[in-house]
Structure 1
Amino acid sequence: MGENDGRLFPPLSPMTARTVDRTPRAAGLAYEAKWDGYRVLLFARADAPHLQSRRGTDLGPGFPDILRAAAELGEEAVFDGELVVIEDGAVDFAALQARAQRTGPRSAAAAAAHPAHFIAFDLLQLGDEVTMARPYRERRALLEEVFTRRDLQPPWALCPMTTDPDRAGEWLDPAWAAVGVEGMVVKGLGQPYRPGERGWRKLRARATAEAVVGAVTGPVTAPDVLLLGRYDAQGELRMVAQSAPVTRTLRRRLGPLLTPAGPGHPWAEARFHSGWGTRDILEHRCVSPEHVVEFEADVAFDEGRWRHPVQARRIRPELHPEEIPHFPAGAA
């Protein structure tokens, strides 16, 4: 943690959350909307504004509009929040990624064409006070006070929060994914902010979908991970999702059905990464794209693909690969 004489300095490890399967319900809890963007820490200082990623990377060169807003805040503060780009009323993760890769004049042009927003949900320093030891309820009150006192407007935004678990449950409706809310983060009203600690809880919205098995890792007769695809309008099989390791039951049922692909499989020379944003290559084995599986996924969905591993649940023998939704036209 970077802290010196009552000031915080980057890099600073943010507090994080562990995944849970159901909405926690107890007295003394707060629920925040979870946004589909980049987790960032924003150091608002007139002389040296700084935008830090969750892993400590300096994102400032790609987001001069956010740095300018931080420099013009009018007081020193350090915020925790989510960085997003909003297009046509919805979060656009692909546009956010593209902006992060631009610097210099290209970055300024991208900022003008695709403005970013900083959605603040915590306040770690205000003036010369490091507020992390304060309980969440006090930090939230200070955060709201800053927004009111400074009359903050875009690119600033205040993350929605409630203490009502039923109201927060609405954020788990996949319909919220259309605007970029992918679930909730649950915090204790009395919790201090502990950098690097997984002290919060998060719950993602999830929905079911179908795709065809196009390749696997591990033996074809006992697959470990499924690479799933959908056909586009031209009849080409396009990758849409990678599964988490399948259950023993599904492996036992699916393995005998799969057939190693013959010549001409569209993924024979493809290179698939082991995870979103990684460079590790999966050693996959192509199979005849004949079998449809149903899977459960969160709502992080971009350009026809699910970013996070999905949970394959069951085989859908009654569905032909051509019957499932097509890969969207215009997606990369």
Structure 2
Amino acid sequence: MFEKLQKKWKVNGWQLLAILCTFAIGGSLTGIVGRKILQQLPEVHPVGWTILYIITMTLIWPLMVVLVSIPFGQYPFFKNYLFRIFQKMTNTPSSIPPSSIPPSPSSPLSPSSPFSIAIFASGTGSNAQKIIEHFHNHPSIRVALVVSNKATAGVLDKAVAAGIPTLLIEKERFFRGDGFVPELTTHGIDFIVLAGFLWKVPPSLIQAYPSRMINIHPALLPKYGGKGMYGNFVHEAVIAAGEKESGITIHYVDEQYDHGGTIFQATCPVFPEDTPETLANRIHALEHQHFPAVIESVILSKLVKNQPS
């Protein structure tokens, strides 16, 4: 049963445990709070009381599980989970009509086209792989392109294996030209995800995708960010400073390194015996656990926000 839930929800074992704990505690709190509310109401007919009980519990339960999900680090999952329940209850379509989305530099969405992501990566692409798996057969979001600045990057092989088009970019045009925006437009890209991409993004690309580009950083920004702070350089700095915890930061991209508004953070301990490699393993686990779900949450929130009322 647990393996089926992991596959259905696309989570690892620890995240499944946290989700189940959230369900259990949230359900218990719903019962406690619901009974206290009903005790304050005047006596009514048993049938009326039953109806009030059902309505009260239905309204309280989502709030309780969302509140409990925050300390368990599962807010992105439950936000998406409740959104899907709402879709089913109201028969809301998963794909939002293109007229409801503000114009972007890419081709606008058509009724039959999902929201298209481009993943930018410079290395082996372990995060990219998790993102590709997460959005496989997703009803309204797809990975439409993988972009890299290195011809030998392993992420390109992962994209080919998944049947996803790739784009190899070169420095001169990227920084001093059009930022490859025409190619992104051709592929109908609506949103950009930086997943271990080591080049600074040029203004031309940022201006083309305002608030539609996010990055993941292997530390708790604003600490240990900026030029040259990537990979083990970050972990070495964290350990050298004697930090007791580190983590990940998912944030919007602007024209400064690791500077855009924070979307999500998750933490992990730093142990006295840690090396950059052991800390990196812990950070990678956080990245794989949270990054795909946060991407989905950000995109779905944009789609819902721009639905016509």
Question: Normalising by the residue count of structure 1, what TM-score does the alignment of the two structures yield?
Answer: 0.24
- Structure having the higher strand fraction is 1
Question: Normalising by the residue count of structure 2, what TM-score does the alignment of the two structures yield?
Answer: 0.26
Q: Which structure ranks higher in relative contact order (CA pairs < 8 Å, sequence separation ≥ 6)?
A: 1
